[in-house]
Structures are given as C-alpha cells and as structure tokens.
Amino acid sequence: MESGKWISEVANGYGTTLEITEHLFSKKSAFQQIDIYQTRKLGKLLMLDGIIQLTSFDEFAYHEMMAHLPFYTHPCPEKILVIGGGDGGVLRELAKHPELKELHICEIDADVIAACRQFLPETACGFDDPRVAIHIGDGSKFVREHKNEFDIIIVDSTDPGGPGEPLFGEEFYLDLKAALRPGGVIASQSESPYLLPDIVLRLNTLTNKLFKFADYAIMQVPTYPTGQIGMCIASDARDVHPQASEVPEELQKTLRYYSPLARCGSFGHPHFVSELLKKAKQ
C-alpha cells in the first residue's frame, strides 16, 4: 500500500504519529511555529510548536466538552470569556446557545486565528457569530484587567512552556476567580493524568484551594497523547455537579460527544485518578 509521510508529536517521552499527504500552511509567528497539514485519514491537523492542537477527526470531542460542560454548570450564563482557543472550536460550540449574549475570546496569536480561518473553516466558523468579540493579547494580562465580568471563563490553552506558561500558575487562577461574576464557573484544559500527573495534581490542588467547589473531568480525544485530556472545573458559588440539565433535542442532534450521560461519565474516574484528586484536596 502506498504510504504518505508521517509526522510526529514527540514530548514527555511519548510520541503520536499521523500520516500526512500535504503541508498546507507553515509560519513562524511572533509566538510559535504554526503548521497545518492534510492527513490521509483524519482530515486536517493543526500543530503549534510541533504539538497537536486538533484534527478534524476528533476535535468535536474536546470542543463540545470544553464548551457545553461549563455551560450546563451555570444556570443562566450570559457572558463568556474564552482564553486561547484560536482555532474557534470552543466558540463554535458556545454559539449554539441562543441565550448567550456576549462571547469574548482573548487569543495571544492573531496568526493562529488567520490560519484557522483560511484552512480550518469548519472549526473557525465560531468566529463568525455576531456575539463574538476578539481580543488579541496575553490571556493572563486580560483577566487581570477585568474584574467581576464573566459568568464562565474557559481556558483553551496550549501546554505549559511557550506562550501558555502564565496560564498554569496560581496568580492566573486568582485573577480568573476575580474576573468572574457571582455564581461564575471556570473550566481549564488540564492535561492527561497518565502522562502529566504532576500538572494534573498541581492544577487540581490550585482549584481546590481557591474555589469552594472543584472537580476534574476527562474526555477521550484519540489524537492527544494517551488518547485523553482533562478539564478542571471550579466555582465559588455552585456545585460543579448540578442536576444534569437536559440538552434541547435540536441541540443534541448537532452534538457527537457531549450528552448529560457523557458529562456524568467524565467525572467517573479510574482509581489512580481518584487517588490523585484525593491528594489535591488535602
């Protein structure tokens, strides 16, 4: 069988390799190396500094969970902030909720947005919603300058190291807390418990220390290292396990991953993760 070229993400002693047929875009921006490829079997692939950000094949899983899980944790969200998220996937999912009034995104790298708009329109269509306001800048600085403003803040960041580094520290989480309106909820990309247990422990220790309610949800995303990634979810004013709200039938038809049952399942952890989370609460 004819074989294309193979491209790997290699980090933390672990490799993920995908077959590609075309290099569609390459640019060294002010912040990172941006590459978009056509893969043989998995649609398009976005990499930043050699790290897989999404493929067309499984991006729905991550984006639906990052958007709808926090959305259904808040009883009446109106104003949401996304930090990072330059591919537009989280915005695309949030835009499915007519009750939202304002959708703000603070992405550090305008070149990521431009490249995704050109080569990944199925994901970047999230930017086209008229409720979206785009802010270009460092998300850690943006939250520091906004107090008591958002019902939900979603941190859809790259991994620590590179421009995402400030989005993993205590100061940032304190600023996130201060940027929430009463009743607010945060959700943040929080890595794989198999590969990066130290980061998972650190972030969960932070959210448990700073917020009254905190937990960690895991979603299955085959092209992320170890096939899964976690999300910290936290709030001062409400339990992060509300009675699982029904998803309206018309919206559910557009979703492939998120459902009330998938939501509950994302908090049902294998024993080693439960032990890690127990430590985070001590």
Q: Which residues contact 248 (CB under 8 A, 6 or more apart)?
A: none
Which CB sits closer to ligand SAM, 48 or 214?
Answer: 48
User: Count residues contacting ligand SAM (CB under 6 A)?
Assistant: 25
Q: Are 140 and 175 in contact (CB under 8 A)?
A: yes
φ/ψ of 190, rounded to 5, equals: -135, 35
Task: Could you list the beta-strand ranges (E) of the chain.
Answer: 5-11, 14-28, 33-39, 44-48, 51-55, 79-84, 102-107, 132-136, 150-156, 180-189, 213-220, 228-235
Q: Toward ligand SAM, which CB reaches closer, 35 or 107? A: 107
**φ, ψ of residue 154 in degrees (nearest 5):** -115, 125
Name the minimum Å distance from CB 166 to ligand SAM.
5
Least distance CB 221 / ligand SAM (angstroms):
8
Contacts of residue 1, defined as CB under 8 A and 6 or more positions apart, other chains included, come to none
- Tell me if residue 267 falls in helix, strand or coil: coil
Name the segment binding ligand SAM (CB under 6 A); options: 37-45, 81-89, 252-260, 263-271: 81-89
Please tell me whether residue 140 binds ligand SAM under the rule CB under 6 A: yes
112 binds ligand SAM (CB under 6 A): yes
Tell me which residue of 121, 104, 96, 154 sits closest to 46, measured CA to CA: 121
| Longest CA span, the chain | 59
Indicate the residue among 11 and 237 with the shorter CB distance to ligand SAM. 11
CA–CA distance, 196 with 217 (Å, rounded to integer): 15
Q: Which is nearer to ligand SAM, 123 or 235 (CB)?
A: 123
Binding of ligand SAM at residue 106 (CB under 6 A)?
yes
Interacting positions 146-165 with ligand SAM (CB under 6 A)? 156-158, 163-164
Residue 201 backbone class (left: φ over 0; alpha: ψ -120 to 50; beta: rest): alpha
In the annotation, is 156 catalytic? yes
The candidate with the shortest Cα–Cα distance to 180, out of 208, 149, 210, is 149
Q: Helices then strands (H, E): number in the chain?
A: 10, 12
Q: Which is nearer to ligand SAM, 72 or 142 (CB)?
A: 142
109 touches ligand SAM (CB under 6 A): yes
Q: Nearer Cβ to ligand SAM, position 126 or 164?
A: 164
Instruction: List the catalytic residue out of 49, 109, 156, 159.
Output: 156
- Mask: binding to ligand SAM, 174-203, rule CB under 6 A, as x and -? ---------------x--------------
Query: Judged by CB under 6 A, does residue 70 bind ligand SAM?
Result: no
For the segment 49-68, give every residue that binds ligand SAM (CB under 6 A): 53, 62
- Please give the residue ranges that form the binding site for ligand SAM (CB under 6 A): 31, 48, 53, 62, 83-87, 106-109, 112, 138-140, 156-158, 163-164, 166-167, 189
Q: So which residues are the catalytic ones?
A: 156
